[in-house]
Amino acid sequence: MRFDPPAAELHIHIEGTLEPELVCTLAERNGTELPYRDIDDLRSRYEFDDLQSFLDLYYATMQVLQTEQDFADMTAAYLERAAAGGVRHVELFFDPQAHLVRGVELKTVVDGISSVLAESRERFGVSSSLIVCFLRDRDPAEAVTVLKDLLEMEAPIIGVGLDSAERDYPPQLFQEAFELAARHGLRRVAHAGEEGPAEYVWQALDVLGAERIDHGVRSLEDPELVSRLAEEQVPLTVCPLSNVRLKGVPSIAEHPLPELLEAGLLVSIHSDDPAYFGGYVDDNFRAIAEQFSLDAEDLAQLAKNSFTSSFIDQRRRQELL
Ligand code: HPA
Ligand code: ZN
């Protein structure tokens, strides 16, 4: 399972690490009725036509997350699996709005996840930090409220991100939330150019001040944008298995990773929602290494890019590089 060289995981939604076994365990523990007969029935639904069809299942299964312990168990299970695959640093996304709408309190979510992150170095040998993602298909004012609440409770977040359904939800809708984040010294990232157009990548950079773009593969449709990304070495967190499973690209063979690298972009490899897309970061590395005949040097460069693109502190960076 272990894949060398070690890497940083920068594009990972904690709710997307909820494996079918854990979904069933938590459902039983909490007495949650699920519309699936068993684990195999649930697993058989992990076939997607696009981002929205995945999100429908993603938001449905997370209803098993009810207590602080549930969030802690999910986080610990993820860190254990990530460490086994060679991950040494994680910047973890979470989607508080997806829990708030189900009546789960913000404190339950934050305390459950952060209690495990606080000991991730000692328990798993993985340094970690937390990034709150705003759901772009919900009211932008709600994002501002959630961020204010997180700031008020002094939640241990290092940054903000933007995720969920991309088409028709341009980044500029979230300008206010991102400006508030910047005023509080938080880092800024955003999903853009996954299903949405290259224009959304421009907006993420110029309106939201995003320092890193999640996915960004559709940037290749705009040569001027590619030049900008290359010149400024804006990191792109690319998730090959996710792109294939959500039918953004037809196959790993047709994944634009070689073009992105050829254009001189700062690309690193990540897993997005590994429980749903057939693989953790090591599986993503294995898939591209095999497909594109990458050698040890190519893989070491991609792994190095993950640390370069991270928000890791200087001391830990030196330890890991
Ligand atoms: N894309 C957009 N939003 C998401 C994803 C994704 O792959 N996973 C969880 N939220
Ligand atoms: Zn993502």
Q: Please check if 99 is assigned to a binding site.
A: no
**Quick check: is 2 in a domain?**
no
Question: What CATH number should be reported for the domain holding residue 68?
Answer: 3.20.20.140
Q: Whose CA is nearest to atom 4 of ligand 1?
A: 164
Residue 2 has pLDDT above 80, yes or no: no
Residue 4 has pLDDT above 80, yes or no: no
Q: Please check if 191 is assigned to a binding site.
A: yes
Q: Determine the Cα–Cα distance for residues 295 and 55; give it in Å rounded to an integer.
A: 35
**Quick check: is 1 in a domain?**
no
Distance set, CA 8 to CA 126, 302, 308 (Å): 9, 10, 9
Distance set, CA 121 to CA 9, 24, 34, 73, 307 (Å): 14, 28, 35, 16, 16
Q: Which domain holds residue 99?
A: 7-310
**Quick check: is 316 in a domain?**
no
Q: Please check if 49 is assigned to a binding site.
A: no
**Quick check: is 321 in a domain?**
no
**Quick check: is 318 in a domain?**
no
Residue 212 has pLDDT above 90, yes or no: yes
**Quick check: is 12 in a domain?**
yes
Catalytic residue among 68, 194, 297, 319: 194
How does pLDDT run across 79-131, given as a tens digit for each residue? 999 999 999 999 999 999 999 999 999 999 999 999 999 999 999 999 999 99
Protein residues whose CB sits closer than 6 Å to any atom of ligand 1: 13, 16, 51, 58, 163-164, 191, 194, 242, 272-273
Q: Determine the Cα–Cα distance for residues 135 and 254; give it in Å rounded to an integer.
A: 29
Residue 73 has pLDDT above 60, yes or no: yes
CA of 61 to the centre of ligand 1 (A): 14
Let me know if 194 is a catalytic residue. yes
Q: Determine the Cα–Cα distance for residues 170 and 184; give it in Å rounded to an integer.
A: 23
Average pLDDT, integer, range 250-263? 98
How does pLDDT run across 264-293, given as a tens digit for each residue? 999 999 999 999 999 999 999 999 999 999
pTM of the shown model:
0.97
Structurally, the chain folds into a number of domains equal to: 1
Average pLDDT, integer, range 26-53? 94
**Quick check: is 108 in a domain?**
yes
Structure tokens at 173: 């809708």
Residue 1 has pLDDT above 60, yes or no: no
CA of 11 to the centre of ligand 2 (A): 6
- Whole-number percent of the chain with pLDDT over 90: 96
